[in-house]
Amino acid sequence: MKKIINQPDDFVDEVIDALLIAHPGWIKAATADRRALVRADAPKAGHVGIVTGGGSGHMPGFLGYVGEGLCSGVAVGNVFSSPSAEQIFEATKAVNGGAGVLYVYGNYGGDVFNFDLAADLAEPEGIDIKTVLLTDDVASAPAERASERRGVAGMAFVFKCTGAAAERGDSLDEVARICAKANDHCRTMGVGLSPTILPAAGKPTFTLPDGEMEIGIGIHGEPGTHRGKLESADAIADRLMGQILGDLQAPKGARLAVLINGLGATPLEELYLLFRRAAKVIGDHGLSIARSYVGEYVTSLEMAGASITVMLLDDELETLLAAPARSPLYRDWLLV
Amino acid sequence: MKKIINQPDDFVDEVIDALLIAHPGWIKAATADRRALVRADAPKAGHVGIVTGGGSGHMPGFLGYVGEGLCSGVAVGNVFSSPSAEQIFEATKAVNGGAGVLYVYGNYGGDVFNFDLAADLAEPEGIDIKTVLLTDDVASAPAERASERRGVAGMAFVFKCTGAAAERGDSLDEVARICAKANDHCRTMGVGLSPTILPAAGKPTFTLPDGEMEIGIGIHGEPGTHRGKLESADAIADRLMGQILGDLQAPKGARLAVLINGLGATPLEELYLLFRRAAKVIGDHGLSIARSYVGEYVTSLEMAGASITVMLLDDELETLLAAPARSPLYRDWLLV
Q: In whole angstroms, give the CA distance from residue A76 to residue A53.
A: 6
List of chain A residues whose C-beta atoms are within 8 Å of the C-beta of residue B25: 335-336
Indicate the average pLDDT of chain B: 95
Give the pLDDT confidence score for residue A203 in this predicted structure.
86
Give the pLDDT confidence score for residue A332 in this predicted structure.
61
A23 φ/ψ angles, rounded to the nearest 5 degrees? -130, 55
Where in the sequence numbering do the catalytic residues of A fall? 58, 220
Common-topology check for domains B8-184 and B187-322: no
Question: What's the pLDDT band for B332 if we cut at 50, 70, 90?
Answer: low
Question: What architecture (CATH level 2) is domain A186-322?
Answer: 2-Layer Sandwich (3.30)
Residue partners of B236: CB distance under 8 A and separation at least 6: A4, B191, B213, B215, B274
Residue partners of B76: CB distance under 8 A and separation at least 6: B12, B16, B35, B36, B37, B53, B56, B62, B63, B83, B87
Q: A96: helix, coil or strand?
A: coil
Instruction: Identify the helix (H) or strand (E) that includes residue A74.
Output: strand A73-79
B47 in active site: no
Cβ contacts below 8 Å, chain A against chain B, sum to: 178
Q: A213: helix, coil or strand?
A: strand
pLDDT tens per residue across all 336 residues of chain A: 789 999 999 999 999 999 999 988 889 999 999 999 999 999 999 999 999 999 999 999 999 999 999 999 999 999 999 999 999 999 999 999 999 999 999 999 999 999 999 999 999 999 999 999 999 999 999 999 999 999 999 999 999 999 999 999 999 999 999 999 999 999 999 999 999 999 988 888 888 998 999 999 999 999 999 999 999 999 999 999 999 999 999 999 999 999 999 999 999 999 999 999 999 999 999 999 999 999 999 999 999 999 999 999 999 999 999 998 888 887 664 433
- Cα–Cα distance list, A148 to A112, A135, A137, B52 (Å): 12, 7, 10, 50
Give the pLDDT confidence score for residue A329 in this predicted structure.
85
CB-CB under 8 Å, A230 with B270: no
Read off the pLDDT of residues B178-231 as tens digits, 9 standing for 90 and up. Answer: 999 999 999 999 999 999 999 988 888 888 998 999 999 999 999 999 999 999
Question: Was domain A15-184 assigned CATH 2.60.120.10?
Answer: no
List of chain B residues whose C-beta atoms are within 8 Å of the C-beta of residue A328: 333, 335
* HEC sequence for chain B: CCCCCCCHHHHHHHHHHHHHHHCCCCEEECCCCCCEEEECCCCCCCCCEEEEEEEECCCCCCHHHECECCECEEEEEEECCCCCHHHHHHHHHHHCCCCCEEEEEECCHHHHHHHHHHHHHHHHHCCCEEEEEECCEHHHCCHHHHHHCCCCCCHHHHHHHHHHHHHCCCCHHHHHHHHHHHHHCEEEEEEECCCCECCCCCCECCCCCCCEEEECCCCCCCCCCEEEECCCHHHHHHHHHHHHHHHHCCCCCCEEEEEEEECECCCHHHHHHHHHHHHHHHHHCCCEEEEEEEECCCCCCCECEEEEEEEECCHHHHHHHHCCCEECCECCCCCC
List of chain A residues whose C-beta atoms are within 8 Å of the C-beta of residue B3: 230, 270
Question: Minimal Cα distance from A17: which residue of B?
Answer: B276
CATH superfamily entry for domain B187-322:
Dihydroxyacetone kinase; domain 2 (3.30.1180.20)
DSSP-derived pairing of the beta strands A129-134 and A101-106: parallel
Query: Do A119 and A172 touch, CB atoms closer than 8 A?
Result: no
State the average pLDDT over residues B54-75. 96
Give the pLDDT confidence score for residue A336 in this predicted structure.
30
Q: In whole angstroms, give the CA distance from residue A65 to residue A73.
A: 9
Question: What's the pLDDT band for B331 if we cut at 50, 70, 90?
Answer: low
pLDDT above 90 covers a percentage of chain B that reads 91
Query: Do A43 and B302 touch, CB atoms closer than 8 A?
Result: no
A245–chain B nearest CA distance, Å? 19
Query: Do A178 and A323 touch, CB atoms closer than 8 A?
Result: no
- Residue B231 has a CB neighbour count (10 Å cut-off) of 16
Radius of gyration of chain A (CA): 19
Question: Minimal Cα distance from B258: which residue of A?
Answer: A22
Which residue of B5, B24, B270 is in closest CB contact with A270?
B5
Query: Do B190 and B306 touch, CB atoms closer than 8 A?
Result: yes
Read off the pLDDT of residues B224-269 as tens digits, 9 standing for 90 and up. Answer: 999 999 999 999 999 999 999 999 999 999 999 999 999 999 999 9
A145–chain B nearest CA distance, Å? 31
- Residue B159 has a CB neighbour count (10 Å cut-off) of 29
pLDDT exceeds cutoff 60 at B333: no
Question: Angle at which helices A315-322 and A172-184 pack, to 10 degrees?
Answer: 100
pLDDT exceeds cutoff 70 at B54: yes
What is the residue extent of each domain of chain A? 15-184, 186-322
DSSP-derived pairing of the beta strands B288-295 and B255-262: parallel
B148–chain A nearest CA distance, Å? 29
CB-CB under 8 Å, A234 with B296: no
Which of A2, A4, A282 is the best substitution to test chain B (most B C-beta atoms within 10 A)? A4
List of chain A residues whose C-beta atoms are within 8 Å of the C-beta of residue B56: 269
B6–chain A nearest CA distance, Å? 5
Query: Do A250 and B18 touch, CB atoms closer than 8 A?
Result: no
Class of domain B8-184: alpha beta
Read off the pLDDT of residues B23-44 as tens digits, 9 standing for 90 and up. Answer: 888 899 999 999 999 999 999 9
Give the pLDDT confidence score for residue A331 in this predicted structure.
67
CB-CB under 8 Å, B11 with A269: yes
CB-CB under 8 Å, B234 with A301: no
Q: In whole angstroms, give the CA distance from residue A161 to residue A181.
A: 10
Nearest to B142 by CA among B285, B220, B245, B243: B243
Q: Is the dihedral of CA B215, B219, B221, B223 positive or negative?
A: negative
pLDDT exceeds cutoff 50 at B61: yes
Q: In whole angstroms, give the CA distance from residue A163 to residue A165.
A: 5
CB-CB under 8 Å, A292 with B22: yes
pLDDT exceeds cutoff 60 at B336: no
CB-CB under 8 Å, B232 with A301: no
List of chain B residues whose C-beta atoms are within 8 Å of the C-beta of residue A56: 269
* CA angle at A86 for the pair A83 and A88, rounded to the nearest 5°: 55
- Residue B221 has a CB neighbour count (10 Å cut-off) of 24
Read off the pLDDT of residues B220-229 as tens digits, 9 standing for 90 and up. Answer: 999 999 999 9
Question: Minimal Cα distance from A22: which residue of B?
Answer: B292
Residue partners of A46: CB distance under 8 A and separation at least 6: A97, A98, A99, A169
B208: left (phi over 0), alpha (psi -120 to 50) or beta: beta
CB-CB under 8 Å, B267 with A299: yes
